[in-house]
Homo-oligomer: A and B are copies of this chain.
Amino acid sequence: MSTHLERLKERLARITDLDAVRSLLGWDQQVTMPPGSNAARSHHLATVTALKHALFVADETGDLLEGAADEVAGLSYDSDDASLVRVARREYEKLRRVPESLMAERARVHALSYEAWVRARDASDFALFRPHLERVIDLTIEYAEALGYEERRYDALLDRYEPEMKTTQVAAVLAELKAGQVPLVQAIAERGRLVDNGFLHQEYPDQAQWEFSVQVLKDMGFDFTYGRQDRAVHPFTTSFSPQDVRLTTRIRENDLTWGLFSSIHEGGHALYDQGVRVELGRTPLFDGASYGVHESQSRLWENIVGRSRHFCAHYFPRLRKVFRKPLAGVDVETFYRAVNKVEPSFIRTEADEVTYNLHIFLRFELEQELVERRLSVADLPEAWNAKMKESLGITPPDDTRGVLQDVHWAEGLLGYFPSYTLGNLLAVQFYNQALKDMPDLTGQIAQGQLLGLRGWLRANIHAHGKKFTPAELVQRVTGGGMSAAP
């Protein structure tokens, strides 16, 4: 006679399989699917989403969760089994309030809306995307209402990405950052004109860039036996188990570092997923503690490691060997300064470390206005441009470089953007702790030895998967709370 816990595990394993399948449908949609196949794909996504939801929120899951909760009552908080029941239960209590039909409709609409966004962005024509986004916003509001919240409708959405976090907390952190960063950006921008990064925009052949990125990923410890790198318009990482982790990148032949840092960034995400203990792979504890914690890993690798003097010391001479002509006469210090140039730009994903958070703040504000119906989708482009002018002092010349630049809203990912900035903060906190624990870390990086850092991150962060909330994890790793100060 099997226990409740055993039966719960079997049920959750199947549910996790469906999540993996849904991720594959999404990966394929962005990486390999033929252009005309999206209508069918939207049905596939809707069906899998609905079945997964129905299996998860069924009364039987609730009964098993209750029974299992009794069975694990004596286990330590940190144990796999106690964590599984705790985390699944929290999720169950939320999702059971959402009707299956709404889940299916969201999946279907997001697939179609994604395609419309691609078309609109290519044509730089917001009007093509507008009716889709209106539908997305309607369904998002319906979803938030179903999930429920105490103070703000946006809380319900935020909680999907940052468990237990409130809008007011995020607003406070972002406001503090903004207050410090707007003048900083202005000050740096004036000085930054001195940095000439024109050499980064010579001709850098695609294939050589690709191979270089693969080598850096291998140095980081990304295991190609259990993952792959592909190309996508909007780079992302997804995974179907700790043994099948897929990152994507995008290479521009007139830009040496765009593709490279994109690979390093996504590589940070990918290492997280490959590092989750394989025993957690077919459970709801697979994946990161939150989107913010996930982003901390990509930011840590991209900005703190990848753009550091130590990293440049090792990799720039190697870049110069591959790209002799465009890098002739460039020295490592010039390279280091060029890849750290601060300059207001239209595109978030191309923004430097400092202006990046201002991009996030803009989206965070607009999202709240959209889901609280204070801003209509029709007025969104204008509102976007006004805020760009206010915070970064520049006005996008077209929608592609403005309101249409991000894929998130097309996919219904409202409430997600704050995770990027939380990720920036956590990256610094985690890295500082790693430095404390490994005094030789920068020396290792300067030798191209990146596996020490990966080992530390794996042991302290990756291995746990989703067992702990972001706050719990930060406490375990750093001994303190989340903080914007560092």
Contacts and interface: CB of A to CB of B under 8 A. Distances in A.
Contacts of A20: 40, 44
A34 B282 contact: no
A28 to B, nearest CB: 6
A283 to B, nearest CB: 12
Interface in A238-268: 240-241, 243-244, 246
Contact of A40 (B50, B225, B240): B240
Contacts of A48: 17-18, 21
Interface in A1-27: 13-14, 17-18, 20-21, 24-25
A36 interface: yes
Interface in A263-290: 281-282
Nearest to A246: B34
A47 B55 CA distance: 12
B282 A37 contact: no
Interface string A23-61: 011001000111111011101101110110000000000
A149 interface: no
A228 interface: yes
A350 B243 CA distance: 35
A21 B17 contact: no
Nearest to A55: B51
8 contacts: A14-B50, A17-B48, A21-B21, A28-B28, A34-B226, A39-B243, A40-B281, A41-B244
Given A33-B244, A40-B244, 16 more contacts: A13-B43, A17-B46, A17-B48, A21-B21, A24-B44, A32-B32, A34-B227, A34-B243, A34-B244, A37-B226, A37-B241, A40-B240, A41-B240, A41-B244, A43-B282, A51-B51
